[in-house]
Amino acid sequence: MKLLEGKTALITGASKGIGRKIAEKFAEHGANVAFTYLSSVEKGLALEEELKSFGTQVKGYRSDASKYDEAEKLIGDIVNDFGTIDIVVNNAGITKDGLLMRMSEENFDDVIEVNLKSVFNTTKAASKIMMKNRKGVFINMSSIVGVQGNAGQANYAASKAGIIGFSKSVAKELGSRNIRTNVVAPGFIKTEMTDVLDPEVVKGWEKDIPLKRAGETEDIANVCVFLASDMSAYITGQVISVCGGML
């Protein structure tokens, strides 16, 4: 059963990690997939070729969602290329970790711009299309760090907590137009970034997770498929933690 057949989805920051797996799962479930990448050009082009094997319409865009004008242009280009937009997964994000006393203003601002302002930019632009259609879905990627905080990640935690407050507000504003907005808060997920960590350190972290393992990108992608589909038609304004019980 293809849960997203006939729907057009945008996934930002999809060249690797969680975003890439979401794009794959969406295409597998019949969605037409638009996605963005920025610095990882080769990976973005490779993903575009890979997703075409699912038989749906696919296109990658090199775009910086943290720039308001670029986000506006992106949504316009997607509507021109695909005809409409039904689902937006705001996944683009960065980390620039450091203790507060050593954190530069630039590192704080950069993380807020990419992680939080990009969600505002893309959501505002896409909501104009969805309001005309009187339907749509936003899935915004936060983190359990945005719920409980984490030493050395004040900037990241602030950006991810901001996404939660923003999303709950948008859910209230756009609900009457049948536009749903939900948040996914991943826990410790295995990606390219975690592959470089000391395996013994990872084992120590996994011991503290009730399910006794790190999450897979597929664990996140499966939840996003559910939230994007009509199976979750009466769910909006919620934060779903995918963390193996860490919270």
Q: Is residue 102 part of a domain?
A: yes
pLDDT, tens digit (0-9, with 9 covering 90-100), for 121-140 = 999 999 999 999 999 999 99
Asked whether residue 197 carries a pLDDT value surpassing 90, the answer given is no
Average pLDDT, the chain: 96
**Greater pLDDT, 234 or 193:** 234
Q: Is residue 245 part of a domain?
A: no
CA–CA separation, 195 vs 206, rounded Å?
14
Of 7-21, 41-55, 61-75, 195-209, the one with minimum mean pLDDT is 195-209
Q: Is residue 218 part of a domain?
A: yes
Q: What is the mean pLDDT of residues 80-96?
A: 97
**CATH code: domain of residue 142:** 3.40.50.720
CA–CA separation, 76 vs 201, rounded Å?
45
Comparing CA positions, the residue from 28, 25, 153, 128 lying closest to residue 78 is 128
Q: What is the mean pLDDT of residues 19-31?
A: 98
Asked whether residue 214 carries a pLDDT value surpassing 90, the answer given is yes
Q: 58 by DSSP, 3-state: which?
A: strand
What letter represents residue 23's amino acid? A
Q: Is residue 58 part of a domain?
A: yes
Q: Tell me which residue range forms the domain holding 20.
A: 8-240
Q: What is the mean pLDDT of residues 94-106?
A: 96
CA–CA separation, 88 vs 85, rounded Å?
8
Asked whether residue 205 carries a pLDDT value surpassing 90, the answer given is no
Instruction: Return binding residues.
Output: 91, 156-160, 189
Q: Is residue 123 part of a domain?
A: yes
CA–CA separation, 90 vs 97, rounded Å?
21
Task: Clarify whether 61 is annotated catalytic.
Answer: no
pTM: 0.96
Q: Is residue 116 part of a domain?
A: yes
Asked whether residue 193 carries a pLDDT value surpassing 80, the answer given is no
Asked whether residue 24 carries a pLDDT value surpassing 90, the answer given is yes
Asked whether residue 206 carries a pLDDT value surpassing 90, the answer given is yes
Q: Is residue 2 part of a domain?
A: no
Backbone CA torsion sign across 155, 160, 165, 166: positive
Q: Is residue 217 part of a domain?
A: yes
Domain count, the chain: 1
In the chain, DSSP assigns E strands to 8-11, 32-37, 58-62, 87-90, 136-141, 179-186, 239-242
Look at strands 239-242 and 87-90 and give their pairing.
unpaired
Given the residues 37, 61, 68, 156, select the one marked as catalytic: 156
In 63-123, DSSP assigns E strands to 87-90
Tokens matching residue 63: 């775009």
What is the pLDDT confidence band of residue 40, given thresholds at 50, 70 and 90? Answer: confident
Instruction: Return binding residues for NADP(+).
Output: 91, 156-160, 189
pLDDT of the residue at 247? 87
